[in-house]
Amino acid sequence: MKKVMIVLFFVTGFLTACREKNVDPATDTETNEWILDQMKTWYYWNDKITASPDLALEPEAFFNSLLYKFDATLRPDGDRFSWIESDADALKAELSGSSKTTGMELKLFYYPAGSSNIVGIVAYTLPGSPAELAGFKRGDVFTRINDQKLTVSNYSDLINSDAAKNYNMGVFDENNSIVETAVKRSVTPVSFQEDPVFYDTTFQYGSNTIGYLVYNQFIPSKSGSDKKEYDTELDNVFASFKAKNVNSLILDLRYNPGGYVSSATNLASLIGKNISSDKIFYYKGYNTTITPVLQKQYGADYFEDKFSAKSQNIGSNLTNLVILTSSRTASASELLINGLKPYMTVTLVGDKTVGKNVGSITLSDKSGKVKWGLQPIVTRSYNSLRQSEYNTGFIPDIPADEGLKLYPYGDPNDPLLSAALTKIIGSPVVRTSPAQAKTAASYQEIMSTIQRKAGGSNMFFDK
Helix, strand, coil share (%) of the chain residues, nearest 5: 25, 25, 50
* Beta-carbon contacts of residue 426 (< 8 Å; ≥ 6 apart): none
Report, as an integer, the average pLDDT of 290-299.
96
pLDDT value at residue 11: 40
* Share of residues in the chain with pLDDT > 70 (%): 88
Report, as an integer, the average pLDDT of 234-259.
97
Q: Residue 173: pLDDT above 90? A: no
pLDDT value at residue 16: 29
pLDDT value at residue 116: 84
Count other Cβ atoms within 10 Å, centred on residue 300: 8
Query: Are the folds of 100-192 and 195-357+381-429 the same?
Result: no
pLDDT value at residue 21: 44
Is 230 in contact with 236 (CB distance < 8 Å)? no
pLDDT value at residue 453: 67
Q: Which long-range contacts (CB under 8 A, 24 or more apart) does 452-455 make?
A: 453/94, 453/97, 453/99, 453/105, 453/194, 453/217, 453/257, 454/9, 454/10, 454/11, 454/95, 454/257, 454/258, 454/259, 454/331, 455/9, 455/11, 455/15, 455/83, 455/85, 455/94, 455/375
Give the count of alpha carbons within 13 A of 346, CB side only: 24
Is the backbone of residue 426 left (phi > 0), alpha (psi -120 to 50) or beta? left
Q: Are strands 377-382 and 280-285 parallel, antiparallel or unpaired?
A: antiparallel
Give, for 446, the enclosing helix (H) or strand (E): strand 444-448
- Rounded to 5°, angle at Cα 203 from 198 and 206: 165
Rounded to whole angstroms, the Cα distance separating 74 from 228 reads 42
Rounded to whole angstroms, the Cα distance separating 285 from 298 reads 14
Is 9 in contact with 257 (CB distance < 8 Å)? yes
pLDDT value at residue 462: 28
pLDDT value at residue 5: 54
Rounded to whole angstroms, the Cα distance separating 358 from 68 reads 14
Rounded to whole angstroms, the Cα distance separating 41 from 293 reads 10
Q: Residue 121: pLDDT above 80? A: yes
Nearest Cα to Cα of residue 272 among 301, 240, 310, 329:
310
Q: Residue 426: pLDDT above 70? A: yes
- Decide if domain 195-357+381-429 falls under CATH 3.40.50.300: no
Is 400 in contact with 107 (CB distance < 8 Å)? no
pLDDT category of residue 334 using cuts at 50, 70 and 90: very high
CATH superfamily for domain 100-192: PDZ domain (2.30.42.10)
pLDDT value at residue 459: 30
Report, as an integer, the average pLDDT of 213-226.
89
Q: Residue 38: pLDDT above 60? A: yes
How long, in residues, is the chain?
463
- Sketch the domain layout of the chain as residue ranges: 7-94, 100-192, 195-357+381-429
| Per-residue pLDDT tens digits for 72-102 | 899 999 999 999 988 867 766 666 656 788 9
Report, as an integer, the average pLDDT of 382-393.
96
Secondary structure of residue 8 in the 3-state scheme: strand
| Per-residue pLDDT tens digits for 370-384 | 999 999 999 999 999
* Share of residues in the chain with pLDDT > 90 (%): 73
pLDDT value at residue 312: 98
